[in-house]
């Protein structure tokens, strides 16, 4: 049973009679919210993603951040071992079993940063992303919806291939990055060596705010650096059982730290001053310009350094700002309501057989029940069922502001990249689909389950779990799945079984790459050996090739044919 009826597209007459939502005046909202109030609401929000290579500890860190914000009382382990909990952000059975994230998850919570007035409460919108390269398309969608990123690096492994790719996405989109070197409680490399690698391999100057006391594997605490690199304070941590609780902190002056830690403190203080001598002190303008990255050393598993990460995000990460639209204009946060859909997800809870479209509020005030316009169809859209989410737990949201992430229930007309707005039309740039590199035919094991099979394919396709390709020869009973990585096919099979009770059979196709083509070229391409032409759901014609040599031969022999490269996962 669905928890709510489908969000319906309504008639223009019904829209005109609706009294819900903002009036259309810039910055107006429920009960006549003033523009200054709207700007203040936007200013206290921080919306960021956690990115990294697989197994660097993203989900563990996400859980630890929620623990320090006191929205959960105990952190769970992520590895799915018998008798141990999974994190709140990993809710799929496949995620729990493997201890990895295969889908991005949104969490929203309030947080009071240390040293700020008691009544200054920030709203944190955090997105835990998949680290595995097979799910890089999902991660890219998330990065279109955030204002900052936390780049998590394993202290023993340093920068890894997927971390490098994700950083390039952040650089391309102008997203400032805060670096967290995780797992400092385990043996690893030296801190200076890790900073040199960041500088040399990605051209980002690391500017540590906190420096570790104790080598990797002997994590005692953090030295808080002053503006000139001089040690201002020592924060000493104490372990808790299994890292399930917030680690107690003891604050010490430099003299007290020297007496407590001896040579370990002296080494940390000396290295901190050395960093300052080489120009590795924080500069807010350079950070926002994407030239530097504040660095914090931590152990998410032990909850060491986690509060410092949250406080740094509140202090330094940018608040929501203006967003460019397709017309190269800018939608300011105080303009009438607008939002961009960046993810669609179903099956989050067996008790709620619904589908959520996650939107990032770009401007104005969102009020549940307001009538907005769907930019892609120009049709009115009702928002009666709107939720905030915490993992897969959900609660009804009445209002939301720029930077907030809201789930619209059963918004079947919405897809990633779509725009919603009120008042003057706006449309934000679409989210590109990545070039698929793996192809497989999908069939239902039992013909009696064909209807369920079709529903499952339609749903997973609309979410963007895989791209679905069709042509007249294969028909609807044997659609072709196209994916960035083969693990996406495993997700399809697992979700079809769990959510639709359909056993699916997958048969790999002998194609290795795809090119965009057109109707005029499709006929000739269809005659070529080692080539097959399909139509993607968005109407784009894709020609699949058995290998790069076959593609090169056809391009040489028939240069008049249209064969355009698609966006590769590492090129964003």
Residue pLDDT, tens place only, 492-506: 888 788 888 888 888
Task: Render pLDDT for 242-295 as a digit per residue (tens, 0 to 9).
Answer: 888 999 999 999 999 999 999 999 999 999 999 999 999 999 999 999 999 999
Return the domain boundaries, the chain. 40-316, 322-421, 438-557
Element (H, E) at 138: helix 136-143
Torsion sign, CA atoms 414, 420, 425, 428: negative
CA distance 240 to 369: 45
Please give, one letter per residue, the 3-state secondary structure of 259-286: HHHCHHHHHHHHHHHHHHHCCCCCCHHH
Partners of 234 in the beta sheet?
223, 252
Residues in the chain, overall count: 572
Band of residue 419 on the pLDDT scale cut at 50, 70, 90 = very high
How far is the C-alpha of 547 from the C-alpha of 551, rounded, in Å? Answer: 7
Q: How many CA atoms lie within 13 A of 351 on its CB side?
A: 3
- pLDDT tens-place string over residues 356-390: 889 999 999 999 999 999 999 999 999 988 988 77
| Mean pLDDT to the nearest integer, 303-320 | 96
Q: How far apart are CA 211 and CA 233, in angstroms?
A: 11
120-126: average pLDDT: 92
pLDDT value of position 572: 47
Q: pLDDT grade, residue 484 (50/70/90)?
A: confident
Q: Which residue has the tokens 């209807």?
A: 451
pLDDT value at residue 311: 96
| DSSP-derived 3-state class of residue 498 | helix
Residue 460 has pLDDT above 60, yes or no: yes
Output the CA–CA distances (angstroms, integers) from residue 287 to 140, 163, 164, 249, 277, in the order listed. 21, 19, 18, 28, 19
Considering only residues 57 and 249, tell me which one the structure prediction assigns the higher pLDDT. Answer: 249
Ligand-binding site membership of 130 (annotated)? yes
Confidence of residue 135 (pLDDT cuts 50, 70, 90): low
Query: What 3-state DSSP class applies to 520?
Result: helix
Q: Which residue has the higher pLDDT, 192 or 244?
A: 192
- Residue 54: pLDDT band (50, 70, 90) is confident
Q: Which CATH class is domain 438-557?
A: alpha beta
- Contact indicator for 163, 53 with CB cutoff of 8 Å: yes
Edge-to-edge strand ranges of the sheet holding 467-470 = 504-508, 438-444, 480-483, 467-470, 531-536, 541-545, 513-517
Task: Give the phi and the psi of residue 439 in degrees, each rounded to 5.
Answer: -135, 140
Please tell me the least confidently modeled range out of 16-30, 51-65, 180-194, 213-227.
Answer: 16-30
pLDDT band at 436 (very low <50, low <70, confident <90, very high): confident
What share of the chain has pLDDT > 90, as a percent? 52
Report how far residue 463's alpha carbon sits from residue 138's, in angstroms, rounded to the nearest whole number: 10
Q: Which are the contacts of 570, defined by CB distance < 8 A and separation ≥ 6?
A: 136, 165, 168
Quick check: 340 pLDDT over 80? Answer: yes
What average pLDDT does range 216-229 have in this prediction?
93
Q: What is Dmax (Cα atoms) for the chain? A: 80
- Which uninterrupted H or E stretch holds 452? helix 450-463
CA-wise closest residue to 215 among 155, 275, 302:
155
Angle subtended by helix axes 254-261 and 263-277, to nearest 10? 130
Q: What is the pLDDT of residues 522-536, one digit of tens each?
A: 999 999 999 999 999
Share of the chain above pLDDT 70, in %: 84
How far from chain centre, in Å, is Cα 20? 31
- Confidence band of 29 (pLDDT split at 50, 70, 90): very low
Q: Which residues contact 80 (CB under 8 A, 6 or more apart)?
A: 86, 95, 96, 97, 98, 99
Please say if the pLDDT value at position 231 is more than 90: yes
CA distances from 423 to 238, 370, 374, 380 (A): 54, 12, 12, 12
Report helix, strand or coil for 532: strand
Please name the residue ranges forming H helices in 174-297: 191-202, 254-261, 263-277, 284-288
Task: Give me 505's structure tokens.
Answer: 């059979």
Q: Rounded to whole angstroms, how far apart are CA atoms 509 and 486?
A: 12
Place 458 in a pLDDT band, splitting at 50, 70 and 90: confident
The dihedral formed by the CA atoms of 13, 19, 24 and 28, expressed in degrees to the nearest 10: -170
Label residue 350 by pLDDT band (50, 70, 90).
low
Q: Binding residue per annotation — 131?
A: yes
In this prediction, residues 414-441 reach a mean pLDDT of 88
- Angle, CA of 287, 213 and 249, to the nearest 5°: 90
Which segment, 261-275, 341-355, 479-493, 555-569, is predicted with the most confidence on average?
261-275
Q: What is the mean pLDDT of the chain?
A: 83
CA-CA-CA-CA torsion sign (3, 7, 8, 12) = positive
Dihedral sign computed on CA atoms, order 130, 65, 314, 182:
negative
CATH of 322-421, picked from 3.30.470.10, 3.90.1150.10, 1.10.3720.10, 2.40.30.10, is 2.40.30.10
The DSSP string of 319-343 is: PP--EE-TTS-EE-TTSSPEEEEEE
What's the pLDDT at 134? 52
Average pLDDT over residues 20-34: 36
Q: What confidence tier does 130 reach under pLDDT thresholds 50, 70, 90?
A: low
Domain 40-316: state its class.
Answer: alpha beta
Identical fold at 322-421 and 438-557? no
Evaluate if residue 53 carries a pLDDT over 90.
Answer: no
What residues contact 97, with CB distance under 8 A and at least 6 apart?
80
The verdict on whether residue 53 carries a ligand-binding annotation is no
Task: Look at 104 and 143; give whichever has higher pLDDT.
Answer: 143
Average pLDDT over residues 156-177: 86
Q: Half-sphere exposure of 82 toward its Cβ, with a 13 Å CA cutoff?
A: 0
For the ranges 15-19, 190-194, 288-292, the lowest mean pLDDT is seen at 15-19
**What are the tokens at 170?**
């952040």
Contact 569, 518 (CB under 8 A): no
> Which residues, in sequence order, are CB contacts of 58 under 8 Å at separation 6+?
50, 51, 52, 101, 128, 129, 131, 152
Q: Are 101 and 58 in contact (CB under 8 A)?
A: yes
Q: Is the pLDDT of residue 186 over 90?
A: yes
């Amino acid at each position: 049973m669905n928890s709510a009826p489908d969000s319906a597209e309504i008639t223009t007459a019904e829209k005109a009679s609706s009294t819900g939502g903002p009036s259309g005046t810039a910055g107006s909202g429920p009960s006549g919210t003033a523009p200054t109030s709207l700007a203040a609401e936007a200013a206290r929000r921080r919306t960021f993603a956690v990115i990294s290579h697989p197994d660097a500890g993203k989900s563990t860190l996400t859980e630890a951040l929620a623990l320090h914000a006191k929205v959960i009382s105990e952190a769970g382990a992520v590895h799915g071992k018998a008798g141990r909990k999974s994190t709140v952000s990993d809710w799929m059975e496949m995620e729990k079993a493997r201890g990895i994230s295969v889908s991005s998850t949104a969490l929203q919570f309030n947080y009071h940063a240390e040293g700020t007035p008691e009544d200054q409460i920030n709203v944190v919108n955090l997105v835990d992303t998949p680290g595995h390269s097979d799910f890089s398309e999902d991660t890219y969608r998330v990065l279109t919806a955030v204002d900052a990123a936390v780049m998590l690096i394993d202290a023993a492994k340093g920068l890894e291939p997927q971390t490098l790719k994700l950083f390039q996405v952040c650089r391309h989109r102008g997203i400032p990055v805060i670096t967290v070197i995780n797992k400092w409680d385990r043996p690893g490399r030296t801190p200076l060596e890790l900073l040199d690698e960041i500088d040399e391999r990605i051209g980002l100057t690391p500017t540590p705010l906190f420096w570790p006391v104790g080598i990797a594997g002997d994590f005692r605490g953090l030295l808080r650096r002053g503006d000139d690199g001089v040690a201002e304070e020592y924060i000493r941590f104490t372990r808790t059982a299994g890292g399930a609780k917030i680690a107690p902190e003891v604050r010490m002056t430099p003299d007290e730290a020297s007496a407590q830690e001896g040579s370990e403190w002296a080494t940390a203080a000396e290295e901190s001053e050395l960093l300052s001598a080489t120009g590795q002190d924080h500069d807010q303008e350079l950070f926002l310009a994407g030239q530097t990255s504040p660095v914090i050393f931590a152990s998410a598993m032990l909850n060491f350094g986690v509060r410092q990460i949250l406080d740094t995000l509140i202090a330094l990460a940018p608040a929501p700002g203006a967003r460019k639209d397709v017309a190269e204009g800018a939608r300011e946060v105080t303009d009438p309501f607008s939002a961009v859909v960046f993810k669609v997800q179903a099956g989050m809870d067996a008790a709620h057989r619904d589908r959520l479209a996650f939107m990032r509020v770009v401007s104005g005030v969102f009020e549940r029940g307001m009538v907005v316009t769907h930019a892609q169809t120009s049709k009115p859209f009702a928002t009666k069922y709107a939720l905030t989410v915490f993992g897969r737990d959900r609660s009804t949201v009445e209002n939301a502001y720029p930077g907030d992430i809201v789930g619209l229930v059963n918004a079947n007309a919405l897809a990633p990249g779509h725009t919603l707005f009120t008042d003057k039309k706006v449309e934000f740039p679409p989210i590109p689909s990545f070039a698929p590199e793996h192809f497989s035919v999908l069939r239902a094991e039992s013909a009696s389950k064909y209807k369920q099979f079709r529903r499952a394919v339609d749903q997973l396709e609309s979410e963007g779990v895989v791209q679905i390709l069709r042509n007249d020869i294969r028909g609807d009973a044997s659609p072709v799945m196209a994916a960035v990585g083969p693990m996406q096919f495993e997700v399809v099979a697992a979700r079809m079984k769990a959510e639709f009770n359909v056993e699916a059979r997958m048969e790999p196709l002998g194609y290795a790459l795809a090119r965009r083509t057109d109707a005029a070229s499709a006929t000739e391409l269809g005659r070529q050996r080692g080539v097959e032409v399909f139509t993607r759901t968005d109407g784009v014609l894709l020609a699949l090739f058995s290998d790069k040599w076959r593609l090169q031969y056809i391009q040489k022999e028939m240069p008049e044919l249209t064969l355009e490269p698609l966006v590769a996962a590492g090129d964003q």
